[in-house]
Copies of this chain bind each other. A is one copy, B any other.
């Protein structure tokens, strides 16, 4: 019985292409997938460590690099990996064919601009607008494996743009959506999605199946298995994701729609599991703007400026001072990742009239995630109770339909994750 030919996009992260040996492993894997009858498209990240090296070079020149230069610079990391992986496939295929060489093309290295991955012009956090699939489809039809540099695109003026950290996931999903691929496999250095970060909590368990919505909230897990935007995109275009280890043939975690989840749940216990995982984000900074002024657009003005700089603001808390002399004055708090700290400071400084800026670094965010959660009001109080029992002070709270997050001191993150993971019965 012959299997129907499937089109599979395989994305390999930095660790998966982190050495020549691993690159050769990826090449073998891709050729074997093809030999089993699948049509294969590869998307690769930069070799692990390379992006940090390049960012380090730029930061020696300017701690807040100009974005056009920054994107051109760091896009080179994926370019190198892309060239090497394609080289490895052609070399392996050539030696298998016994020709010793360059006669037949089995793979083609491709950069963002070569396959028209068109993005907007928000350097370092660009969003994909369109992908031209013509070249890809013609290569696939000829049995040539496209090896695509992830993370990068090109704007309408031919500037190189990048999609933000973890952007290769988004490249892979966008390409899978554009090609209407049957599967998008995300190969990484962990073997799937866990109930929490195993490095923080030894009882962490791998889950077989998770919904896009839950995955979005868990994407910020310590292991950073998937960029959030890639999951949003996968949900939007219903691209089936399969997160798995590049060093093991075992099934990983499938990220699917809620309908798909429900189909599988019936077989087990649909109502039982509420909390599916505990997420932890270290290195959060709280900015507090004290006495922001009483203009009705004061908050909008700040968040507009931050949005223009493409800064993702996480938790936001607003209150009006009542004690002291500054009656009617607005106080605004929000958190961002440590990596955006200098950029936020820069934006606020240029903006002016933002009151006194107080930075509170060294924080962490712990979150519990689960789709059924909103129907179980007990979850929030149980979470606060578990943290209190562990002697952990909560600095800010934020809730959504499927997530409750607490901002705590960074050095308490591990203890908090363990208390929550055990307290919500995720160890079984």
Once the chains bind, are B88 and A61 in contact (CB under 8 Å)?
A: yes
Interface stretch, picked from A74-82, A310-318, A413-421, is: A74-82
- Size bracket, chain A contacts: 35 or more
Once the chains bind, are B109 and A87 in contact (CB under 8 Å)?
A: no
Once the chains bind, are A109 and B76 in contact (CB under 8 Å)?
A: no
Contact of A69 among B83, B158, B159 (CB under 8 A): B83
* Residues of chain B with a CB closer than 8 A to A90's CB: 62, 66, 69
Question: What sequence of 0s and 1s flags, for each residue 84-124 of chain A, a beta carbon within 8 Å of any chain B beta carbon?
Answer: 10111011000000001110000011010110000000000
* Residues of chain B with a CB closer than 8 A to A57's CB: 20, 80, 84
Contact of A102 among B66, B73, B160 (CB under 8 A): B66
A6 on the B face (CB < 8 A): no
Once the chains bind, are A70 and B91 in contact (CB under 8 Å)?
A: no
* Residues of chain B with a CB closer than 8 A to A65's CB: 87, 91
Q: How far is the CA of A111 from the CA of B69 in the complex (A)?
A: 11
A2 on the B face (CB < 8 A): no
A394 on the B face (CB < 8 A): no
Contact of A20 among B60, B91, B159 (CB under 8 A): B60
CB-based nearest B residue for A149: B72
CB-based nearest B residue for A350: B101
Q: How far is the CA of A61 from the CA of B88 in the complex (A)?
A: 6
A265 on the B face (CB < 8 A): no
CB-based nearest B residue for A79: B76
A68 on the B face (CB < 8 A): yes
Once the chains bind, are B69 and A79 in contact (CB under 8 Å)?
A: no
A58 on the B face (CB < 8 A): yes
CB-based nearest B residue for A23: B61
Q: How far is the CA of A291 from the CA of B77 in the complex (A)?
A: 49
A346 on the B face (CB < 8 A): yes
Once the chains bind, are B79 and A72 in contact (CB under 8 Å)?
A: yes
Given contacts A23-B61, A79-B75, A158-B114, whether A69 and B54 have CB atoms under 8 Å apart is no
Q: How far is the CB of A152 from chain B (nearest CB, A)?
A: 11
Q: How far is the CA of A91 from the CA of B101 in the complex (A)?
A: 46
Once the chains bind, are A61 and B20 in contact (CB under 8 Å)?
A: yes
Q: How far is the CA of A102 from the CA of B54 in the complex (A)?
A: 20
Once the chains bind, are B62 and A87 in contact (CB under 8 Å)?
A: yes
* Residues of chain B with a CB closer than 8 A to A82's CB: 72
A64 on the B face (CB < 8 A): yes
* Residues of chain B with a CB closer than 8 A to A60's CB: 20
A331 on the B face (CB < 8 A): no
Once the chains bind, are A83 and B72 in contact (CB under 8 Å)?
A: yes
Q: How far is the CA of A76 from the CA of B50 in the complex (A)?
A: 12
Q: How far is the CA of A76 from the CA of B82 in the complex (A)?
A: 11
Once the chains bind, are B61 and A84 in contact (CB under 8 Å)?
A: yes
CB-based nearest B residue for A103: B350
Q: How far is the CB of A153 from chain B (nearest CB, A)?
A: 14
Report A143-162 residues with CB < 8 Å from chain B CB. Answer: 158-160
A24 on the B face (CB < 8 A): yes
Q: Return 18 A-B CB contacts under 8 Å, by A number.
A: A20-B57, A20-B60, A20-B61, A24-B61, A57-B80, A58-B84, A58-B87, A61-B84, A61-B91, A69-B83, A69-B84, A69-B109, A72-B109, A72-B111, A73-B87, A76-B77, A100-B346, A113-B113
Given A20-B61, A66-B86, A66-B102, 13 other A-B contacts at CB below 8 A?
A: A24-B61, A58-B83, A58-B87, A66-B90, A67-B102, A70-B83, A72-B82, A72-B83, A72-B109, A73-B80, A73-B83, A75-B79, A114-B158
**Which residues of A are at the interface with B, using a C-beta cutoff of 8 A?**
20, 23-24, 54, 57-58, 60-62, 64-70, 72-73, 75-77, 79-80, 82-84, 86-88, 90-91, 100-102, 108-109, 111, 113-114, 158-160, 346, 350
The 6 A-B pairs with the shortest beta carbon distances in the complex, nearest first, are A73-B83, A76-B76, A69-B87, A62-B91, A72-B83, A20-B60
